[in-house]
């Protein structure tokens, strides 16, 4: 993606947020806490890399962000272009919508954008940076689930009292920096909830980024299919031979290790 296009997308996103704020929508800005561990201790919510692998069942859920019957979207965009990095407001968390304490519904519309910049990010890091396991497995009482075109987070009743979007943003910063400390130079996070029209506009504004991600993913799938001589047209996520394909992939990975 060209620098000019990336800059235009961010400018459009920021200008849109300002415009919506001027029209009366709730917008909040937070900065990364310089001592996140102290913040987590104060809120009494454990945040540890790969130490909180738990399932939050529906009956244990106090609030669901997004979900099957709600509008939702997520975008995680890692990039290595040094020009891109200069356009990121590093350590900034922007919330458009209600604070947790003001939400009375059991589930709400929700969207999240995470921008991650680092000039040392290369192809093999890209997929790892886009996975939600680093977040879902690192926050006590918090679970992220995804299926094609749907995304949601469950917040358990054990942490809801002290949970805030400022906390969530700081937990994401902390966990990513713990897991990818040699890669990440800057991060910026956007949360939006409750306003369906804002979510729609976010999706529209960032569509070129999404298209770029999809293009990279499709190329990866095509390269993988060529390696295993796959002639099927459907996507891997719905392929009835997914398990067998995965086993073949593991064999190829081990072979590559031996040949190095």
Rounded mean pLDDT, 55-59 = 89
Q: Are 53 and 86 in the same domain?
A: yes
Q: What confidence tens digit (pLDDT) does each residue in 70-123 have?
A: 999 999 999 999 888 889 999 999 999 999 999 999 999 999 999 999 999 987
Query: For the chain, how big is the Rg over CA atoms in Å?
Result: 19
Q: What confidence tens digit (pLDDT) does each residue in 187-211 have?
A: 999 999 999 999 999 999 999 998 8
223 burial level (CB within 10 Å; 0-12, 13-18, 19+): exposed
109 burial level (CB within 10 Å; 0-12, 13-18, 19+): buried
Residue 152 inside a domain? The answer is: yes
Say if residue 236's pLDDT is above 80: no
Residue 67 inside a domain? The answer is: yes
Q: Are 254 and 174 in the same domain?
A: no
Domain that holds residue 245: 228-259
Number of domains in the chain: 2
Q: Are 55 and 103 in the same domain?
A: yes
DSSP string, 74-129: EEEEEE--HHHHTTS-TTEEEEES--GGG--SSEE-EEEEEEEE-TT--HHHHHHH
Q: Are 52 and 181 in the same domain?
A: yes
Residue 223 inside a domain? The answer is: no
């Amino acid at each position: 993606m060209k620098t000019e296009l990336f800059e235009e997308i961010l400018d459009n996103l920021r200008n849109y947020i300002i415009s919506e704020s001027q029209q009366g929508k709730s917008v909040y800005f937070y900065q990364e806490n310089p001592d996140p561990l102290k913040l987590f201790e104060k809120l009494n919510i454990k945040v540890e890399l790969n130490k909180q692998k738990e399932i939050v069942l529906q009956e244990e859920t106090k609030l669901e962000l997004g979900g099957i019957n709600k509008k939702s979207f997520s975008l995680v965009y890692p990039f290595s272009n040094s020009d891109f990095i200069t356009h990121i407001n590093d350590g900034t968390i922007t919330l458009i919508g209600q604070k947790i304490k003001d939400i009375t519904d059991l589930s709400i519309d929700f969207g999240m954008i995470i921008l991650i910049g680092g000039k040392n990010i290369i192809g093999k890091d890209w997929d790892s940076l886009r996975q939600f396991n680093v977040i879902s497995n690192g926050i006590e009482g918090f679970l992220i689930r995804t299926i094609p075109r749907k995304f949601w987070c469950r917040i358990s009743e054990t942490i809801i009292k002290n949970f805030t979007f400022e906390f969530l943003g700081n937990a994401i910063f902390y966990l990513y920096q713990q897991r990818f400390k040699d890669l990440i130079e800057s991060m910026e996070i956007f949360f939006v909830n409750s306003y369906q029209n804002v979510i729609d506009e976010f999706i529209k504004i960032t569509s070129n980024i999404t298209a770029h991600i999809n293009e990279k993913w499709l190329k990866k799938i095509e390269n993988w299919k060529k390696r295993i001589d796959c002639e099927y047209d459907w996507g891997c996520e719905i392929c009835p031979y997914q398990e067998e394909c995965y086993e073949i992939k593991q064999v190829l990975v081990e072979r590559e290790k031996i040949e190095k």
